[in-house]
Every structure is written in structure tokens, then in C-alpha cells.
Amino acid sequence: MHTVPLNIMQETLHPLLTSGRDVIIYGAGYNGIDTLIQLRKHGITPSCFCDADAGKHGLDICGVDVIGSNELESLNKNSAIIVTPQECTIDIVTMLSNKRFNNILFHSSAWAMLKQAEETIKRIPLNQELYKRNEQKVKLVFEHLCDQKSRDVFDAAVKYHLTGDYHQGARLRDGDLYYPKGVINIGENEVYVDCGAYNGETIAHFISKTPDGSYRYIYGFEPDPMVFQMLNAYVSKRRWKDVRVEEVGISAERGKLHFIASGDISSHITIEDDDSVEITVSSLDNLLHAPNCPHPPTYIKMDIEGAELDALRGATQTIQTFHPKLAVCLYHRFEDLWEIPYYILSNYQNYSIYIRQHAEALEQVLYAV
């Protein structure tokens, strides 16, 4: 099988796509349509979409028909098939391999998710040692989770990192990222702090959850220079009021760090190397001027590629003063599964802790309310 990472947003596409092969897009969702747009810019029209959702079968999306996975058997196995979903990526690749497709490519988001899962599997021996050293802390966190679903998700996530088996967690997926039913409730006077605002879609998602689109204020922080340009343009185009975005990373204190700026979800802080850029970082306490914040936060979301624990340490005054709801990603490092809830439980005893999973193997998010 020939697997290729393909960033559809790049100007130069892989030669497989310019060799006269049929092109199939797997996934007729947002990433799939984005892929179609980019292919057409290069004069390439895919033969079809393929999607597991029976409700999409037979649809015509932008002039391209949608078929089901069962119809792939009749197609040319040498076709270039581009996998676009971020969810179920492992299962999709396994299915396509079993059907003997020889040229599997990936939208950049799907590729990043697949590589994260592969890295986790490589680290299993190290994870097992790390777990043994922290077993008592893991047990304490488990016992303090507020509902059975949180405990089930936590247990499944630990099992995945120790064995590579993601199926238990996949069955527990919650579809509403950052707004799980019965855990996070959004009112009409919210002040939302988006740490890792990416291209603005999470801000738009938050606004869609508010009553009649009403809120008090929104902060958006994004350190990736390329992505920040998209974020700033996205916010400006929509002319949202009372939204401030800033090109800065969130950490424990003010300073400079090195950052791999890939323009997608695989961007991350790193040690200095030839591929990194220097970024400005600061603490939430500093950026929000806690404890005298002009717009006291009511909901803070953190998806900052493994820097979440440092970010929490730099938000002490903000959290102690205003008691905002928290959504903190736990899946960038194995130890974050227990270290982040342990930190919150140890420092903010008035919080209740929940954990939900939003993808097949990863995207575990802690919710503190």
C-alpha cells in the first residue's frame, strides 16, 4: 500500500494526482469539500465522494456524486483516494487497505490525527513505565471524577495509551466538542476565552451556542503566524462586535518560545531548530489583567498542543477570582490525562471535574465547572 501525506492547501499536489489516475475523496464533510475546492483549482475533478453516512448516498455535492463504502469494490484499485475525516481515520485506512486500494493519501487534518495515533502506539513501553510511577495519582483522579461516563472515558483513554486499543473509547465519543450536554451550559452574558483559537471556527461555534448569538466579550489567542492571519481575516469578515484576537501563545509566564508553525492542527511548541519560529507567549493572568479584568471570563477553552498545564499555572488569579467554566484538552501528552485534573483538584476545590471524548482515539477534554 502506498500512503502519502498530502496537504491539500499546498500549491503543489503530489504527482499521483497529476498522473491521470482517478481521484476519489473519502468523506463528504467539511474537509472533503475543502479538498474538492483545492483539487478543482488545479484542474482536477474527482470521480466521486465516498461516505459512510447513508443519508449522503446518492447526493450530488458541487457536481460530484456521493457513494457508499460498499460501492468501492467496483472502482479501480489504483485510483488515488484521499482520506479527509479526522474521526475514524484508523478504521477508514484499515477498510481501504482490506479493499486493496494502492494509493491512499490524506487531507492534512486527517494525516495529523493518524500520525498522533501512530506516535502513541510507538510510545506504549514508555507509557507503561510512566503509568506505573503515577498509579496512585491516576487512582485518585479516577475516584474524584463526577460521573460514570467520565470514569469510563478516563479508563478507556488510559487503556489506549497502554495497549493501543482505541475501540472502547471510540464507543464513548461525544459529538458536541466543548459543549457536552448536561455539563457545559452557555448563557447570554458569557465572556469566552479561546486559547488556541486556530482559524476562528471555535469562536463561531461558541457564538452559535449562545442564546440568539448574544455574548458579552470574546478573547481569541493563537500563536501560529500563518493561522493567525486566517483567524484575523475570519473575525474581520464577520464583523463580530466585542471580539479581540491576539497573536500570542498561552503559557505560565511572559516570554519567547520556539514553535513549529505548520498551519494546521499539528503545530506545537518545540526546542529551537531550523524549522521553528520564535513566538511570544504570555499568561492569561497577564493578558486578562487579573484580578482586575475588564471583561471577567466565564468560559475558558484550552487546546494548545501540550502547553495546557503551563497555561493553567499562569491563570491562577483568573480562576481563583472569577471561577470560569474550563474546557482543557488532555490528549496531547499521556500524563496530562491525570496531571491536569490532579492540578485542578489540588488547587480549586470548588470545581467538579468531568471528562468527555470527542474522537475515536484522542480528543479527551476535561470540563471543570
Question: Can you give the pLDDT at residue 276?
Answer: 63
* Residue that wins the pLDDT comparison between 177 and 86: 177
User: pLDDT grade, residue 177 (50/70/90)?
Assistant: very high
> Has residue 1 got a pLDDT over 50?
no
Question: Can you give the pLDDT at residue 108?
Answer: 82
**Which runs of E-coded beta strand occur in the chain?**
2-5, 23-26, 48-50, 60-61, 64-67, 80-83, 103-106, 191-195, 217-221, 243-246, 249-250, 255-260, 268-270, 277-282, 299-302, 325-329, 353-357, 364-368
User: pLDDT grade, residue 313 (50/70/90)?
Assistant: very high
Question: Can you give the pLDDT at residue 241?
Answer: 94
What is the share, in percent, of the chain residues with pLDDT greater than 70? 90
135-368 folds as: Rossmann fold (3.40.50)
Q: Choose the CATH number for 2-117 among 3.10.290.10, 3.40.1160.10, 1.20.1250.20, 3.40.50.720.
A: 3.40.50.720
If you average pLDDT over residues 321-348, what whole number do you get? 97
If you average pLDDT over residues 206-222, what whole number do you get? 97
> Has residue 101 got a pLDDT over 50?
yes
d(CA 267, CA 274): 15
Mean per-residue pLDDT over the chain, rounded: 89
What are the domain boundaries of the chain?
Answer: 2-117, 135-368
Question: Can you give the pLDDT at residue 190?
Answer: 98
Question: Can you give the pLDDT at residue 16?
Answer: 60
* pTM exceeding the 0.85 threshold for the entire prediction: no
Residue 74, amino acid: S
Name the least confident of 177-181, 182-186, 275-279, 355-359.
275-279
> Has residue 315 got a pLDDT over 70?
yes
Question: Can you give the pLDDT at residue 273?
Answer: 56
Count of CB atoms situated within 10 Å of the CB of 333: 17
Burial (CB < 10 A; 0-12, 13-18, 19+), residue 62, is: exposed
